Amino acid sequence: MTSSAQASIIDGKIISAELRARVAKEVERLQRDHGLTPGLAVILVGNDPASEVYVRNKGIATREAGMNSYEYKLPADTSEADLLAKVRELNADPAVHGFLVQFPVPDHISQQTVIDTIDPAKDADGLHPLNAGRLASGLPAMVPATPEGCLIMAKRAGGDLSGKHAVVIGRSNLVGKPVAQLLLKENCTVTIAHSRSRDLPAIAREADILVAAVGRANMVTRDWVKPGATVIDVGINRVPAPEKGEGKTRLVGDVDFKDVAGVAGAITPVPGGVGLMTVACLLRNTVIAACRAKAIELPEDF
């Protein structure tokens, strides 16, 4: 962590670089000792510009870690049957140890059917109901990358999380629910808030660890935050930035960073926070999947 005048900044650049270095080291060992190169594949349907950027960045990070990267770009009018056929092909491909379908997919395709078709052992995003159920049962599972990144950052800021009150705003299967499960596993007392929660600021103010995973720019302001709390901002929102020129935009989180940095103990920035951890954790998941597939033990601290 680096320190600002007020809250400590939980720096995603530093923490994700450390994790990626650990992944690269492990990949090197797997290649050297076992002749195994973990492979991560991504399927992208359509040409949503934000998704294209995510997929490109994942590919770059995968190759930088010494792993094999596979990208499959399918046209926007790909039928659900054709996408499922591609998913089954990757389920059966021994060179692919983990893969994901970049969401959102076009409206004519059921996201849940796609998730249900992915082999849980290769489910790099940890979205398959079997993995969600295993996580909720406290069993080894493929854990969604963004929630894992949140946990690593919260631990970095707060050390032992046991007994702390964590409030997670958002209850999606992708972020909110698995973050809550991971915090529960760390023996936090967990509150999950959502769009129907009453008096959200009062609930948030109870938090020693506040995770915002909503998708509303700058929603969390300083009056929502207990002094000294750790604030993890998952939100990625594009807002107009007239100061950068006409029609320009910039990314902000769900937390009003400047405002909240004056009261929080530690805070993640956007950009430069959780988003960077997501890619690093995805790489880690792929290495874990490759090792499980080959019954290779990983170091305990991996």
Binding stretches for ligand NDP (CB under 6 A): 146, 169-172, 174-176, 194-196, 200, 213-216, 234-237, 274-275, 278
Instruction: Tell me, yes or no, if 125 is annotated catalytic.
Output: yes
Set 11, 58, 177, 208: catalytic member: 58
Of 187 and 195, the one with the shorter C-beta distance to ligand NDP is: 195
Of 32 and 196, the one with the shorter C-beta distance to ligand NDP is: 196
Of 34 and 238, the one with the shorter C-beta distance to ligand NDP is: 238
> Which DSSP string do the residues of 229-281 spell out, in sequence order?
-EEEE---EEEE-GGG-TT-EEEE-SB-HHHHHTT-SEE--SSSSHHHHHHHH
Of 143 and 214, the one with the shorter C-beta distance to ligand NDP is: 214
Set 102, 181, 208, 226: catalytic member: 102
> Which DSSP string do the residues of 116-129 spell out, in sequence order?
HHS-GGGBTT--SH
Instruction: Tell me, yes or no, if 155 is annotated catalytic.
Output: no
Instruction: Tell me, yes or no, if 301 is annotated catalytic.
Output: no
Q: Across the strands, what pairs with 190?
A: 166
Residue 36 Cβ vs ligand NDP, minimum distance, rounded to whole Å? 28
Element (H, E) at 28: helix 12-34
Set 11, 123, 125, 256: catalytic member: 125
Q: Residue 292 in contact with residue 302, Cβ under 8 Å?
A: no
Q: Residue 85 contacts by C-beta under 8 Å, 6 or more apart in sequence? A: none
Residue 224 Cβ vs ligand NDP, minimum distance, rounded to whole Å? 11
Tokens 């790099």 found at: 124
Active site residues: 58, 102, 125
